[in-house]
Structures are given as structure tokens and as C-alpha cells.
Structure 1
Amino acid sequence: MVEAWYMDESADDPRRPHRAEPSRPVGLEQLRQLGVLYWKLDADKYENDPELEKIRKERNYSWMDIITICKDKLPNYEEKTKMFYEEHLHLDDEIRYVLDGGGYFDVRDKDDKWIRISMQKGDLITLPAGIYHRFTLDERDYVKAMRLFVGDPVWTAYNRPADHVEARGRYVASLAQTA
């Protein structure tokens, strides 16, 4: 099951857990209220997993590739990992399925506080279009992940501030409706 918590304010290595003290865990329902969806799957059978195929079909995740993020496999590793950790949003949902290794997705709550979501092997997550977020590896410095899209992939990130972007406006309006 996914583990999530409010972050501390430390500027220390982003690959560390950064749990607020005292600990403030975040449950799946709170993540759902932010539009974040989560599934736990068997990553060892991702190539022929009927549960993954069902999710892909139901949610129209038609495009897929696999990325490995580690110093030996990702060209321009340092530059790209810094870019992933810049707070940004996308016009489309961001869908990631961890096949091996791990990392953290950080998302902003309704009060603009950071929530850290620990992503481990078998975790599939969907971040809604317009949510401010960032990604970093954990201390293992390695993740192999499936990237999924509805239609063709769009890699454009809009760094904060991007409140003028239409997807952000729709996202903020959706939060107001769930309040």
C-alpha cells in the first residue's frame, strides 16, 4: 500500500524521506480529494497483467514506454533529475507505474503544503492535469518506470508560477467542488 506524509521544510538532500515532525501521515482518501489516484499491482508481470490492461482500457491509457532513471542509463542524468524536481504542472495527467526501484512524487495540498508520496515497485499513480508536483529518486538512486498517456505523449512542463494555464484553473475549480 502507498505511504504518504506531509514534508518537513528542510532543504537537505531531496532523496531523503523528509517526514514532518511530528509525523503527519496522509491517507488514500486525502490523496483522492486532490485528484491523485493510486493502484497496487504486481510489477513482475506487467507485460501480461490483466489488471493493468483493465486500468489502461478503462482510463484510455493508450501510449506507453519504459524509462530507467539512474546515472548509468539516463543521458544528462544530473540535468534531468534537477528538472524533474522543479515544481511544475502539465496540461495532461501524469501516469507512472514503478516496475523497480523507487522515488517520491511530491504534490501540493489545498493549503499549498507539500505531501510526499513514496513510490515503490508495483505502485501506479495518476496525478491530475494542473496539480503542482515534482519527482525525485529515493536514496537508492534508481527507478524503472512505465510512463502512460492518453493519446500521444506530451512532455511539456510548466514551472511554477503557472496559475494562468487553463489546466491549472480547471484543477483549482475541481478542488473547490470537492471541498
Structure 2
Amino acid sequence: MVQAWYMDASADDPRRPHRAEPARPVGLEQLRRLGVLYWKLDADKYENDPELEKIRKERNYSWMDIVTISREKLPDYEEKIKMFYTEHLHLDEEIRYVLDGSGYFDVRDAEDRWIRIAMEKGDMITLPAGIYHRFTLDKQNYVKAMRLFVGEPVWTAHNRPADHVEARGQYLTFLAQRA
């Protein structure tokens, strides 16, 4: 099951859990209200998983690839890690399925507070277009993930502030309707 919590304000190593004190866990329902979707799948059978295929068909995830994020496998590793951790949004959903390793997705809640979502093998997440977020590895410094897209992939990140972007306005409207 998903593990998520409100973060502390510490600026030290982003690969640490950064749990707020006192602990403030975040449940799946609260993530859903933010438009974040989560599934737990069997990553050992991702190549022939009927559950994954069902999700892909229902959500029109037609394109996919697999990326490994580690010092040994990712060119320009340090620069890419910094880029992933810079707060940004996308014009389309961001869909990631962890096949091995682990890391953290951080998302902003409706009050602009950080929520950290721990991702490990078998976790699949969809972040809605327009949500401010970032990604970092944890202390393992390794994740192998499937990236999924509706149609052709678009890699453009709009760093904060990006409130002028149409996807951000649509996301804020979505949040207002859920309040």
C-alpha cells in the first residue's frame, strides 16, 4: 500500500525521508483528492501483466519505455537528479511504474504543502497535469522505472512559477471543485 506523509522543512539531503514531526501520514484518499492515482502491481511480471494491460487500455497509455536512474546507467547523472528535484509541472499526466529500486515523488497539496510519496518496486503512480511536483532517489540511489504516456512522449517540464500555464489553471479548477 502507498506510504505518504507531510514533509518537514529541512533543506538537507533530499534522499532522506523528511517526515514532519509529529508524523502526519497521508492516505490514498487524500492523494486521490489531489488527482494522484496509485496502483500496486507485480513488477516481476510487468511484461505480461494483464492488470497493467487493463490500466494501459483504460487510461490510453499507448507509449512506454524503461529508464534506469543510477550513477552507472544515467548519463549526466548529477545534473539529471538536480533537474528531477526542481519543482515543476507538466502539460500532461506523469505516469511512473517502479520495476526495481525506490525513490520519492513529492507533490504539493491544495495549501501548497509538500507531501512525500515513497515509491518502491511494484508501485505505479499517475500525477495529474498541472500539479507541482519533483522526484528524487532515496538512499539506495537506484530506481528502474517504466514511463508511460498517452500518445507521443513530451518531456517538457515547466519550473515553478508556472501558474500562467493552462494545465496549471485547469488543475487549480479541479482542486476547487474537490474542496
Show the counterpart of 2:102: 102
Distance 2:12 2:19 in 1: 12
Distance 1:139 1:96 in 2: 19
Aligned residue runs from structure 1 range 6-155, under 5 A = 6-155=6-155
Query: SS of the counterpart of 1:17?
Result: coil
Q: Deviations over 1:56-105 (max 9, x none)?
A: 00000000000000000000000000000000000000000000000000
TM-score of the two chains, using structure 2 as the length reference: 1.00
Distance 1:2 1:108 in 2: 17
Structure 1: any 5+ residue segments left out of the alignment? none
Query: SS of the counterpart of 2:46?
Result: helix
Q: Deviations over 1:115-156 (max 9, x none)?
A: 000000000000000000000001000000000000000000
Amino acid at match of 1:137: L
State the shift of 1:107 in Å.
Answer: 0.1
Distance 1:152 1:13 in 2: 34
Percent pairwise identity: 84
Distance 1:142 1:21 in 2: 27
Structure 1's consecutive aligned runs of 4 or more residues displaced over 3 angstroms after TM superposition are none
Show the counterpart of 1:177: 177
Distance 2:98 2:2 in 1: 12
Distance 2:153 2:89 in 1: 15
Structure 2: any 5+ residue segments left out of the alignment? none
